[in-house]
Structure 1
Amino acid sequence: MKHIITAVGALAMTTTLAQAGGVDRSGQSVASIFESGNYVEFSFGRVSPDVSGTSSANLGPFGGFSSGDMARGYNQIGMAVKTKLNDHWDLGVIFDQPFGAKVDYPSGTNYFAQGSTAELNASALTTVLKYRTDNNISIFGGLRYELMDAKASVPFVAGYVVDSDQSSGLGYLVGVAYEKPEIALRVALTYNSKISHDFNTVESSLLTGGFDVDGKTTVDSPQSVNLEFQSGVAKDTLVFGSVRWVDWSEFVIDPTNYPPADPLVFYNSDTVTYTLGVGRQFNENWSGSVAIAFEDQSGGFASNLGPHDGRTSITLGAAYTTANKLKISGGVSYIRIGDAKTTLDDVNAASDFTDNSAVGVGMRISYAF
């Protein structure tokens, strides 16, 4: 019965699919490596954000206009396979989409950024090897192979357009965990390294006379640390949560011929996201969970291609387990996206984004054998 609660706890942490409407999407969890025996899972999610703002009055004739909904919905998929090699060794393979963005300012709004678009896609394949000692301490590590591509069109910045090829990069993860199965206790700490990508880019703007210019741009997907925990606290009841730090202050996209002095994409500070939830087993087949998450605002100006700062969310999850260990889980998240102001000159506010939100739904099918 304990395994049903554990499944719901893991689900609630992974169905919060919108990280402040930004580029952190999967959370890079390695929870599947802790499943008992052999295990396989497939997950699918859909996130629908609603993000809009209003240009500031200090822009004169360009002030007071609504941007319209500039954040597009996206799908999220994930897969994991884990096999027990012997009583001490486990091997897992995880596919996820760790980072991404999809920006599309509507045209015809008179908002200064109208017609601007941007897209970032990343997918990763991670191999994890775990060794469990006789005193319930585990150490694990592995390699992550990541693919990434990006493109943007920013008409209000000298008609700037950039497109990249798909770049691959290799990183690693290491971690340590402590488990006490009789009370469903597990605490796991995971470090994910940065991964460097060298893009071949094609850029054009009014400053290049409208001609395409070939170049190279280096982007590092950020390093991060995950602390994930769970524990039984009463009969058929589990408390779970996580703390995730991401080194966003080192994430920069700065193509060679982008006209302004500031990079195309950058963040003022790192982020820490907190999640806390409780799972409850109702009977031999059904379990449910609820979790809340919080990411504090960092302050300062946000990017016009990512006008958000912090988030608060609530996730409801349910899981059904059949007699043959097939588990079908589902969840829905409501995310309140933090208010933000953008700028065009690093001094004055150019827009104000408030009262924005997103809804995420997720489903996971898993089987233990």
Structure 2
Amino acid sequence: MKRVMIPAAVFAAVATSAGAGGIDRSGQGLGALFEEGRYMELSYGLVSPKVEGTDVAAQPTGDVTATYSQLAFSYKYDVNDKLSFALNMDQPFGADILYAATSPLLGGTIAKTDTYAVTGILRYKFNEAFSIHGGLRAQHAKGNIQLQGAAYAGLSGYNVQFAGDWAPGYLVGVAFEKPEIALRVALTYSSKVKHEFDTTQVFFPSGQITDVETPQSVNLDFQTGIAKDTLLFGSIRWVDWSDFKIDPIGFPGDGLVELENTTTYTLGVGRRFNEKWAASFSLTYEPKGTDPLVSPLAPTDGRYGATIGASYTMDNMKISGGVNYTWLGDAQPQTAGVGRANMTDNTLIGVGVKVGWAF
């Protein structure tokens, strides 16, 4: 029995994710690439994490995270009946950490990182079932880190500035579709992006270049109709943080930040009530790492959350909104392999809106 085709974007709540340490932010999704015809969308999300705890001197760290916003834009058009093109702009990675002066061990420690990326993607359809896609990404990044407090001993007061840098990357993928049951499975690999930052340091040589690789990743996205006007959807995202290391020339030890690999699972269901209204509910889970000790600059470990979304369609415009609540895993910020604080009972709230136009 054939089921009604339901576009996945009808049920996609605006991304309000926070991956490893809150650094993996956009998820690098490609939803617009699979929209029918010419299509454009603009999305905005506001994310408010709460990450706080007590250091081993029994003093509060304060809420070390700041509210941040996420902007994204996509444009897609069909070159012909087999070839299509999409342009994506997003903010894939970021950090905004500040420990309060109330903590004698970590107070004044700062991490600030901003990125944005522009990606051009081509998709070629062999037939109604199989297609391949690939493209090039240009990514800009910059950052600032300061280490402060007794936990850093002689390195307290260290500061490093990474000047803005553009660097290239790429993505490749394959998809299988069966439109009569709204089935689509898409697998996408995104490469590392290697930045070469002009670096200014306190205590150590300035005017040097610091190489930093943002991680390679694999996204598996799927959807399928399970009943009339009802869609099951989900994703698995694996991010390889093993080569993500911030280690300026002259800095002692193993560098400033190291993270464990992450795998994030999402599963949800969407329901279209009529030609105008639809809603969705999804759950997200990211297991904790193998080591409870984490970098003070990425002070969470694992997460699980829930998102509710709704959309309204009128003529050629679709407005979607979502609210996400996430529980962030407990973690112990460390220096020199010794836990310096306990971050517990931490959460994240995100809201977002997306407007799409088909024309």
Q: TM-score range by the shorter chain?
A: over 0.9
**Paired residues of 1:20 and 1:338 also in contact (CA < 8 A):** no
Q: Which amino acid aligns with 1:351?
A: A
Rate the CA distance shift 1:2–1:330 in 2: closer, same or farther, 3 A. farther
> What aligned pairs does 1:120-269 form with structure 2 within 5 A after superposition?
120-156=113-149, 157-205=155-203, 208=204, 213-258=206-251, 260-267=252-259, 269=260
Separation in 1, partners of 2:148, 2:164: 23
Q: Which amino acid aligns with 2:158?
A: Y
Instruction: Give 3-state SS (helix, strand or coil) of 1:230's partner.
Output: strand
Shift of 1:52: 0.5
**TM norm structure 2:** 0.95
**TM norm structure 1:** 0.92
Q: Which amino acid aligns with 1:193?
A: S
Q: 1:286 aligns with which of 249, 252, 277?
A: 277
- In the alignment, structure 1 residue 118 sits paired with structure 2 residue 120: no
Shift of 1:213: 2.6
**Paired residues of 1:286 and 1:318 also in contact (CA < 8 A):** yes
Separation in 2, partners of 1:32, 1:69: 36
> What aligned pairs does 1:27-176 form with structure 2 within 5 A after superposition?
27-56=27-56, 63-107=57-101, 109-156=102-149, 157-176=155-174
* Deviation sequence 1:122-148 (CA, Å, 0-9, x none): 100000000011241000100000000
* Deviation sequence 1:266-299 (CA, Å, 0-9, x none): 11x2110000000001111110000000000013
Gap regions ≥5 residues in structure 1: 57-62
Q: 2:304 aligns with which of 312, 325, 335?
A: 312
**Alignment correspondent of 1:328:** 319
Separation in 1, partners of 2:136, 2:123: 12
* Deviation sequence 1:291-325 (CA, Å, 0-9, x none): 00000001311001111100001000000000x22
Shift of 1:214: 2.4
Shift of 1:2: 5.4
Instruction: Give 3-state SS (helix, strand or coil) of 1:110's partner.
Output: coil
Q: Which amino acid aligns with 1:69?
A: D
**Paired residues of 2:323 and 2:351 also in contact (CA < 8 A):** yes
**Paired residues of 1:203 and 1:215 also in contact (CA < 8 A):** no
Rate the CA distance shift 1:170–1:218 in 2: closer, same or farther, 3 A. same
Instruction: Give 3-state SS (helix, strand or coil) of 2:87's partner.
Output: strand
Q: Percent identity, aligned pairs only?
A: 45
Separation in 2, partners of 1:345, 1:270: 21
Task: Tell me the number of residue pairs that the alignment of Structure 1 and Structure 2 aligns.
Answer: 351
Shift of 1:7: 2.1
Gap regions ≥5 residues in structure 2: 150-154
Separation in 2, partners of 1:31, 1:138: 14
Instruction: Give 3-state SS (helix, strand or coil) of 1:121's partner.
Output: strand
* Deviation sequence 1:138-169 (CA, Å, 0-9, x none): 00100000000011111233310011111111
Separation in 2, partners of 1:163, 1:292: 38
**Paired residues of 1:179 and 1:185 also in contact (CA < 8 A):** yes
Instruction: Give 3-state SS (helix, strand or coil) of 1:7's partner.
Output: helix
Instruction: Give 3-state SS (helix, strand or coil) of 1:26's partner.
Output: coil
Q: Which amino acid aligns with 1:292?
A: L
Separation in 2, partners of 1:17, 1:132: 31
Separation in 1, partners of 2:200, 2:333: 26
**Alignment correspondent of 2:340:** 350
**Paired residues of 1:128 and 1:143 also in contact (CA < 8 A):** yes
Shift of 1:44: 0.3
**Paired residues of 2:331 and 2:342 also in contact (CA < 8 A):** yes
**Paired residues of 1:278 and 1:291 also in contact (CA < 8 A):** yes
* Deviation sequence 1:57-82 (CA, Å, 0-9, x none): xxxxxx11110100011010000000
- In the alignment, structure 1 residue 368 sits paired with structure 2 residue 358: yes
Root mean square deviation of aligned Cα:
1.5
**Paired residues of 1:66 and 1:111 also in contact (CA < 8 A):** no
**Paired residues of 2:20 and 2:298 also in contact (CA < 8 A):** no
Separation in 2, partners of 1:232, 1:3: 8
Separation in 2, partners of 1:97, 1:186: 26
**Paired residues of 1:117 and 1:154 also in contact (CA < 8 A):** yes
Instruction: Give 3-state SS (helix, strand or coil) of 2:180's partner.
Output: helix
Rate the CA distance shift 1:93–1:5 in 2: closer, same or farther, 3 A. closer
Separation in 1, partners of 2:75, 2:104: 47
* Deviation sequence 1:152-197 (CA, Å, 0-9, x none): 1112333100111111110110000011111111000000000100
Q: Which amino acid aligns with 1:218?
A: D
**Paired residues of 2:6 and 2:182 also in contact (CA < 8 A):** no
Instruction: Give 3-state SS (helix, strand or coil) of 1:33's partner.
Output: helix
